Structure 1
Amino acid sequence: MTGINEFYRNTLNQKLKNPMSWGAVLPNNIVALNVWLEEIVNGKAYVHSDKPSLTIAGHVNPNWIERKKHLDLIKSGVPAVGVLITNGNKSNDDKWRIHGFDESSIFKLNQLECNNNGEWVMRIDLTNPIKIKKVQFDGKAAISTIAKRHTIAIETVQKAIGIGWKLIGMTEDVATLTYYGKLMSVDLGDGSYTTRKG
């Protein structure tokens, strides 16, 4: 079985922010969220809680912070899909681990809503899976998104493209470009950039 990190990198064409991330913004500007099969009730998948998830050391889990950003994107109109994962019927374990996931399909998520306990859910249609081969990066759509949302960073990206760099990826925080074996990461917040060997 393919690992979840490999699945995101090779099939969805987006490397996870860290190996334990709960999802990612795909190159075609769709939010992909890992959703537990065991947490789907009446056609609704649990996706987040207003109560922060804490690490063993008592710090706010960075994956919780990232998921909150993903929900903010969904609230602003960015479409979402679910990557269906399962804990292998080990729901009584203190810490769930991914024991399997659907490698051939993703599932449309919509109708984000919050209950009185601060738990966020989205409707998921398990009867209509979206068969996937590989998500292709849409550079034109990415540039359009950067131009609309990141007016400072778009200048850096356009200058780089003007001298031969090619835009190959984008998350909610960083645009990635390549040029003859080098990689450039452009911070979408302030337009600063760093380069490294690819």
Structure 2
Amino acid sequence: MTTGRAAPEAAADLGSVLVVGGTGMLRATTCAIAHRATALTLIARSPEALAADLSATCPTTPIALDLTAEGAVARIAQIKGGFDTAVIWLHDDAVSLSRPLEDLLRPSARLLRVMGSLAMDPAVRATRAPDPRQDITRQLVILGWHPDAAAPDGQRWLSHAEINAGVLAALNAPALEALIIGGSGG
């Protein structure tokens, strides 16, 4: 069972970390990362409150940015890059920003990309990272579902706690290329 806490052997320094979309569903992941990062940059529509909470744990830079807004690519290009690690959750309407965000990582950095259940299809997955960098290590976390006999369609979405536990499990296992949280079949 994954508790969402970093295993002692996995508590290694993550270096400078970029988190995109980490204030809502991935809030607990962002908080855990702050304990393992030398610096944290948080890109979200409203990152200020969480960044203030985390600043006592590690230096945190909030960047308020709606990734669907006009000019988002230009704003991303202004961010000082060189990140060692990134955790990125993008909604479908912002996948065109995959590469500009990846370009903020240093060569040989580690990218943990969180995607919805449709990304179980390799063709869909390719559209969500249309121009991936080849000089970084990438991990994929796909959000599945759980069987639920009480639900009308026999399944339920994952809870935030389940999602965060899975993302942290992937973060603690750098050799893991992909992880599906919950179910993946019909």
TM norm structure 1? 0.24
Question: Which protein shows a greater Rg?
Answer: 1
Higher fraction of helix? 2
The structure with higher relative contact order (CA 8 Å, sep 6+) is 2
Relative to the length of structure 2, the TM-score reads 0.26
Where is the strand percentage greater, Structure 1 or Structure 2?
1
